[in-house]
Structure 1
Amino acid sequence: MARSQLLLALLCLAASLGAQAAGSGGRKMVGVYELRMGDFSVKVTNWGARLMSLVLPDSKGNLADVVLGKDTIAEYVNDTSYFGPITGRVGQRISRGRFVLDGKVYHLERNDGRNTLHGGGRGFHKVIWTVEEYMPDGDSPYITFYYRSFDGEQGFPGNLDVYVTYRLSAPYTLGVHMNATALDRATPVNLLLHTYWNLGGHGSGDVLGHTLGLFASRYTVLDVDLLPSSGRVAPVAGTPFDFRAPTAIGSRIRQVTGGKVVGYDANYVIDGEQERMRPVAQVQDGASGRAVELWANQATVQLYTGNWLNNTKGKDGKVYNQYAGFTLETMGYVDAVNHPEFPSQTLLAGQEYKHDMVLKFSF
């Protein structure tokens, strides 16, 4: 990072710290926190409640970090690729940056052309969370972050209490648990974890050879702006979106466009009952032998193949190019607040939102 860019990043971080300190009655410190169980470890930060790394062995016992990211917090400040944060209040896109709730029109910041992406330019990925609890080691290491989202933040109504817990358990399992409570007004909530994975190790090349299986027989049809403008949900059978049988990610990638670029940026409806924990995906890297099985209790999952990565500076001197990682973002339906035909993502005052993910790694 050039000196001018680094200075700008630090100034942005300082400004954010100052703004939040003024609202909270005290200064919050940004830190990096490690959870460890033997040769299995993760690092997280309270800047965006972000997953920064996950290290585990391969089939030969070699350790590698399988999460794409940055070296320093200052570099995350200006990150536009969404490396590893919790995004909200509403992840993914809201059409035209507006919605109607209880007869009132709400206008949000448009940070993705004419639409709102991941809660706005200063959504949950760009704020400092409070470290509520931290147990770095032991039988079940965990950390819990807390954030109070204020009424009107990025245009959303009502005060919202949000908690995110990262927890390790044996063998090689990471749990991510997101909870939110609408304190005084109805508001849409749809959180997601935006982690890029490469099971061969971050910076090891592309993920086109990874084998992906999705427990999804339908997908949400998205338009060129990656919004479900038609409201249609279609079968994956006979399309390049069909991963019901484990298939290499790159086998049909040239047949799809994620927005305006070749690659997957697709939303799948997970088979089974929405609020129950159930299998979402299985991914395996044949070269390293590493695999991951994802379970969650959400309605959909967004598959993104890093289509816009282009000579992007990553950790440890690595450079990430197109398809260097994939995301599996479990969540509710995209733009549900503007589609009454989709299950609602609106919390009433006093209601609680619960989003649980479990990632089971093997090698």
Structure 2
Amino acid sequence: RYFCKITGISPLFACIGNLGDVILGYDTVAEYVNGTAYFGGLIGRVANRIANARFTLDGKAYRLVPNDGNNTLHGGHRGFDKVVWTVKEHVAGGSSPFITLYYHSFDGEQGFPGDVDVHVKYQLSGPHELSVRMNATARGKATPVNLAHHAYWNLGGHGSGSVLGEEVRLFASRYTPVDAALIPTGHLAPVAGTPYDFRTPAAVGSRIGGLLSRGVNGYDINYVVDGGGLRPVAVVRDGASGRAMELWADQPGVQFYTANGLSGVRGKGGKVYGRYGALCLETQGFPDAVNRPSFPSQIVRPGKVYMHHMVFKFSF
């Protein structure tokens, strides 16, 4: 059996059978509000980084709130993970329980243009599946929209230690190289022959030495997902517990992050999370796409709808 509960604004998951809570998080809503790790965060208006906290759209320059050096990260100081969402629907029983959250993002919020109505639906779409559907409708002005689900996964159990031994496969033959500030250079590079190559299953830690030798402290990079539509993005397996997770999504990219920034973070049940204590697989548009015309556009025109669908499939 598989059990899912949604607490506050962040989803928490646990597998029953080989029992274990496989996602990092906090015990209280206050900790989510005050935390800086984006545990389980519903990220927006634009996930990932925007260079120099600015962009030009339809001839008008917009200045955003810088919160990652000179850049904007995950929507600014008060991104969508820090706001209060409204529960629009909640069905607790039946074979496919779900909850739908709603947020109205106002014109000028964190510097972004135009009003946007956002709906996100979390649903147990099968005995061992979680479906997340996001949509956002632009009102009045064109605006960039790039939503993401920022879960920190450890299939060995949250607080169980490093995920460097977990096996990962990524359905991506290219990635977007970045500069020292993690801003994409604008190029698409092949993963072949690099530490970023997970086209065949490999332990997370098997290639990380190639990054450490360059002064990069772990994975925090956007991959170009092969194919289009709702398709496989990643598979993660934990040998010790026997748990596995498949991720399917319809976005052009996925940010693979190995929790490089965690250090002594106290989480649920008093567990302490450290570096490499989880991995994130954030399906999304490419970072800084608003400043890179060669990247898939994340601009939503008035009356048009941004859509993002992902499915997590678990086995154990």
Fold-level match, TM-score > 0.5?
A: yes
| Alpha-carbon distance between aligned partners in 1 of 2:139 and 2:214, rounded to the nearest angstrom | 36
In the alignment, structure 1 residue 68 sits paired with structure 2 residue 24: yes
| Alpha-carbon distance between aligned partners in 2 of 1:317 and 1:133, rounded to the nearest angstrom | 32
In the alignment, structure 1 residue 269 sits paired with structure 2 residue 224: yes
Question: Which sections of structure 2, spanning at least 5 residues, go unmatched?
Answer: none
Larger Rg: 1
| Alpha-carbon distance between aligned partners in 2 of 1:260 and 1:76, rounded to the nearest angstrom | 31
TM-score of the pair, normalised by structure 2: 0.98
Q: What's the offset of the Cα at 1:261?
A: 4.7
Q: What's the offset of the Cα at 1:258?
A: 12
Residue aligned with 2:293, SS: coil
In the alignment, structure 1 residue 45 sits paired with structure 2 residue 12: no
Q: Give the match for residue 92 of structure 1.
A: 48
Q: Report if the CA contact (8 A) 2:2-2:128 is conserved.
A: no
| Alpha-carbon distance between aligned partners in 2 of 1:103 and 1:270, rounded to the nearest angstrom | 31
Residue aligned with 2:206, SS: coil
| Alpha-carbon distance between aligned partners in 2 of 1:134 and 1:77, rounded to the nearest angstrom | 22
Q: Percent identical across equivalent pairs? A: 60
Deviates more, 1:250-259 or 1:331-340: 250-259
**Cα deviation code 1:243-287 (max 9, x no counterpart):** 0000000111122169975110011000002xx100000000000
Q: Report if the CA contact (8 A) 1:177-1:355 is conserved.
A: yes
Tell me how large the CA RMSD over aligned residues is.
1.4
Q: Report if the CA contact (8 A) 1:226-1:259 is conserved.
A: no
The partner residue of 1:163 within 115, 119, 142 is 119
Which letter maps to 1:90? V
Give the structure with the larger strand fraction. Answer: 2
| Alpha-carbon distance between aligned partners in 1 of 2:220 and 2:73, rounded to the nearest angstrom | 14
Q: How does 1:67-146 map to 2 (within 5 A)?
A: 67-146=23-102
In the alignment, structure 1 residue 347 sits paired with structure 2 residue 305: no
In the alignment, structure 1 residue 249 sits paired with structure 2 residue 208: no
Q: Give the match for residue 106 of structure 2.
A: 150
Residue aligned with 1:198, SS: coil
Q: What's the offset of the Cα at 1:42?
A: 2.5
| Alpha-carbon distance between aligned partners in 1 of 2:52 and 2:132, rounded to the nearest angstrom | 30
The partner residue of 1:233 within 180, 188, 191 is 188
Q: What's the offset of the Cα at 1:184?
A: 1.0
| Alpha-carbon distance between aligned partners in 1 of 2:56 and 2:108, rounded to the nearest angstrom | 14
| Alpha-carbon distance between aligned partners in 2 of 1:326 and 1:300, rounded to the nearest angstrom | 16
Deviates more, 1:254-263 or 1:141-150: 254-263
Q: Report if the CA contact (8 A) 1:144-1:164 is conserved.
A: yes
| Higher relative contact order, chain-length normalized (CA < 8 Å, sep 6+) | 2
Residue aligned with 2:46, SS: coil
Shift of the 258–152 alpha-carbon distance from structure 1 to 2, 3 Å rule, reads farther
Q: Give the match for residue 14 of structure 2.
A: 55
Q: Report if the CA contact (8 A) 1:159-1:185 is conserved.
A: yes
Shift of the 219–258 alpha-carbon distance from structure 1 to 2, 3 Å rule, reads farther
